Amino acid sequence: MDDSGSPEGRSLPPRALLAAIVDSSFDGVISKTLDGIITSWNAGAERIFGFTPDEAIGRQITMLVPPERLNEEGWILERLRAGERVVNFGTVRVRKDGRRIDVAVTSSPVCNLLGEIVGASKIVRDVSDARAAASALAQSEARLAAIVDSAMDGIITVDALGRIVVFNDAAAAMLLCPSEQAIGGTLDRFLPVRHRQHHASWMTGFGRSGTTSRAMGRPGQIDACRADGTEFPAEASISHVEVNGEQLYTVILRDVSELRGAQTARRALEAQLREAQKMEAIGTLAGGIAHDVNNALGAILGNAALAKEDLPAGHAACKSIEQIDVAAQRARAVVRQILAFSRRQAQELVVQPLAPILIEGIALFRSTLPTIVRLQSCPPSDDLLVRADANQIHQVLLNFCTNAWHALRGSSGQITVGAERVNLDRSEAFALGGLEPGAHAHLWVTDDGCGMDEQTRARIFDPFFTTKPRGEGTGLGLSVVHSIVQTHAGAIVVKSEPGLGATFSVYLPEPAEVARPEAAAAAEGEVKGEGRCVAYVDDDEVLLLMVERLLTRRGFQVLCFSDPDELLDRLCEKPSEADVVISDFNMPKMTGIELARKIAQMTPNLPVVVSSGYISDEMREDARLAGISALLEKEDVLEKLVPVLSRVLAAANVETIQVERRD
């Protein structure tokens, strides 16, 4: 003990002082021989395990070890014989009543004055109820000093005046204060300033309470302060003992900064997991409802278009039909938003000009815009190409434009949509999130609305974040945009200030120009059936009738089937009657892909098109392996069915000619 300790501390025999400290410890302190025979047993050990010293001393330490963990004791003894410590070893031990408890054990070799290892000490902490304590027990002054000095937790003892009389090496390292500077000083220097005024009265009250030991804080956690002023969370236990009429208080301190950080990281991971599970649930829901909803949307859009064709120009019902079409288009956009947000929407990245995509998106948005809002467009040159999914770029534009419209808050204003080619140097590309330098397509939407503050800008891409009133926004729109731009290997930038409007910019890498084959362009322009026969199978009667009317008006002959077995029977009787087969994917008896496999066995050269309300990447792969000519989304039947049939039939004719020439 340092001579700078208090007069009261020096008046105590060192052995009595250390023995009192050990016996009053809140933790179990046990010493044993190198053969595992218990040689001392403190009150803390009795509290934890239920054995009295008479029942424990002289017995093997293995009486506390479950049978399946006996190998641990041998391993610990080998480490101790080698002069090594076993620090904070988490394990399970058995009480006298047979109950198993979780404990943290620190074992250290004990040496005599000659430096010979003559035994071992254990500090046992019961962590089942989150109590924190540490101490040591030994039979001689050298052993007691070794236990205190070898402890990994800080052990600090103060007298009744609050002056430190014991300050072990672990406390010195933890609190960044050498023992010689700490002993004789006050304990409250290691407490945050805000707690110091209450510390003295708390210690006095604890001494008068008659309690000999207590965990501090809840549950045993406090804020401690290092000598350099930095604070850290700690687990602490305090014990009180009277030795030769002197009141002594021993605090055992453990730094739990890493544990607290691990708990914080765990909570963050749990939050991420919950968010991922929520997104997965949305994706599952989206995939489940997309088929049925898109079936209905395809029928609504198709029948609305056919009805409009049946009516003379200027008929009173035309406006109602136009509103039906607008509402169905909005519903289709919502389904696509949910699919894109949940990453369940399959992508078709194609090198194509950006200008037509921009023009189509502006036309679609213009039909929903009030007349008081001016919409200005600045389309790019026709040679500006992007590798993109046109439908998803439409979603980006519609979300940007819709947010711009809402930012006007019902007043007049202007929205500008444009695109241009920009060349990003290395620093500009890096500032945009690590894009590759070079040519990019810059797409932007600008408004002169209310603008956003910094806090709002920081959260606008968060899922479910919205500034709109309840019921007017889902908070998904800009999250969808962010997801789409990321999957297109692009970057997104927002510039806005309150009252000064906002500009949303998207940068997409420009691919090398790809020439568009003339044959493909001609096939896409073909819109007449010229009497070719289409076999169409779908269990939805509404779609069956709608597609039949649509194809008949375009010059096709149509054979309709509500049961795939009926189609197979017809093909068996007349294998060359149909030029192409269109099948729904989701049918009661078999899927469209299963039907295509059976058709391939019967008539290998007959092309098959499969339509579905929800097309996943897995479905695309299965369709490719089954030899299906094309996949078609149900809600796009009106716009894409005839062009798809034209391409498929043109490809089939080319293949037939090649086969005949080889023969």
Tens-digit pLDDT profile for residues 595-609: 999 999 998 889 999
Predicted confidence (pLDDT) at residue 138 exceeds the cutoff of 60: no
Task: At 48, list the tokens.
Answer: 């934890």
Residue 82 has phi, psi (to 5 degrees) of: -85, 5
Which helix (H) or strand (E) element contains residue 494? strand 491-496
Helix %, strand %, coil % of the chain (to 5): 45, 25, 30
pLDDT tier for residue 88 given thresholds of 50, 70 and 90 = confident
DSSP 60: B
Alpha-carbon dihedral angle through residues 178, 183, 187, 190, given to the nearest 10 degrees: -10
Amino acid in the structure at residue 580: V
Reduce the DSSP state of residue 29 to 3 states and report it. Answer: strand
How high is the pLDDT of residue 500?
Answer: 87
How high is the pLDDT of residue 141?
Answer: 52
- Across residues 295-316, what is the average pLDDT? 79
- Across residues 357-386, what is the average pLDDT? 83
Predicted confidence (pLDDT) at residue 70 exceeds the cutoff of 80: yes
As a whole-number percent, the residues of the chain with pLDDT over 70 amount to: 76
Predicted confidence (pLDDT) at residue 127 exceeds the cutoff of 60: yes
pTM for the complete prediction?
0.40
Predicted confidence (pLDDT) at residue 133 exceeds the cutoff of 50: no
Q: Is the dihedral of CA 165, 166, 172, 178 positive or negative?
A: positive
Predicted confidence (pLDDT) at residue 56 exceeds the cutoff of 80: yes
Domains of the chain, earliest start first: 7-255 (3.30.450.20), 347-509 (3.30.565.10), 518-662 (3.40.50.2300)
Between 129 and 534, the more confident residue is: 534
Reduce the DSSP state of residue 607 to 3 states and report it. Answer: coil
- Distance CA(141)–CA(162), nearest Å, equals 25
Predicted confidence (pLDDT) at residue 403 exceeds the cutoff of 80: yes
How high is the pLDDT of residue 566?
Answer: 92
- Distance CA(660)–CA(658), nearest Å, equals 5
Please name the residues in contact with 232: beta carbons below 8 A apart, sequence gap of 6 or more. Answer: 223, 224, 225, 226, 255, 257
How high is the pLDDT of residue 146?
Answer: 62
Please name the residues in contact with 327: beta carbons below 8 A apart, sequence gap of 6 or more. Answer: none
- Distance CA(51)–CA(95), nearest Å, equals 8
How high is the pLDDT of residue 250?
Answer: 83
Predicted confidence (pLDDT) at residue 379 exceeds the cutoff of 70: yes
How high is the pLDDT of residue 427?
Answer: 84
- Across residues 454-477, what is the average pLDDT? 60
6-10, 24-28, 300-304, 345-349: range with lowest mean pLDDT: 6-10
Q: Can you tell me which residue has the tokens 């939805």?
A: 540
How high is the pLDDT of residue 440?
Answer: 92
Cβ atoms within 10 Å, residue 390: 17
How high is the pLDDT of residue 476?
Answer: 52
Contact 635, 294 (CB under 8 A): yes
Predicted confidence (pLDDT) at residue 27 exceeds the cutoff of 50: yes
Predicted confidence (pLDDT) at residue 103 exceeds the cutoff of 60: yes
- Distance CA(600)–CA(577), nearest Å, equals 15
Predicted confidence (pLDDT) at residue 534 exceeds the cutoff of 90: yes
Amino acid in the structure at residue 15: R
Predicted confidence (pLDDT) at residue 10 exceeds the cutoff of 80: no
DSSP secondary structure of 129-174: TT--------SSHHHHHHHHHH-SSEEEEE-TTSBEEEE-HHHHHH
How high is the pLDDT of residue 6?
Answer: 46
Between 164 and 479, the more confident residue is: 164
Cβ atoms within 10 Å, residue 210: 7
Predicted confidence (pLDDT) at residue 467 exceeds the cutoff of 60: no
How high is the pLDDT of residue 429?
Answer: 85
Predicted confidence (pLDDT) at residue 136 exceeds the cutoff of 50: no
Q: Chain-wide mean pLDDT for the chain?
A: 78
- Across residues 237-250, what is the average pLDDT? 77
pLDDT tier for residue 349 given thresholds of 50, 70 and 90 = confident
- Distance CA(393)–CA(487), nearest Å, equals 11
pLDDT tier for residue 57 given thresholds of 50, 70 and 90 = very high
pLDDT tier for residue 211 given thresholds of 50, 70 and 90 = low
How high is the pLDDT of residue 297?
Answer: 77
Predicted confidence (pLDDT) at residue 293 exceeds the cutoff of 70: yes
Please name the residues in contact with 384: beta carbons below 8 A apart, sequence gap of 6 or more. Answer: 353, 354, 355, 419, 420, 421, 441, 510
Predicted confidence (pLDDT) at residue 474 exceeds the cutoff of 50: no
Rg (CA), the chain: 40
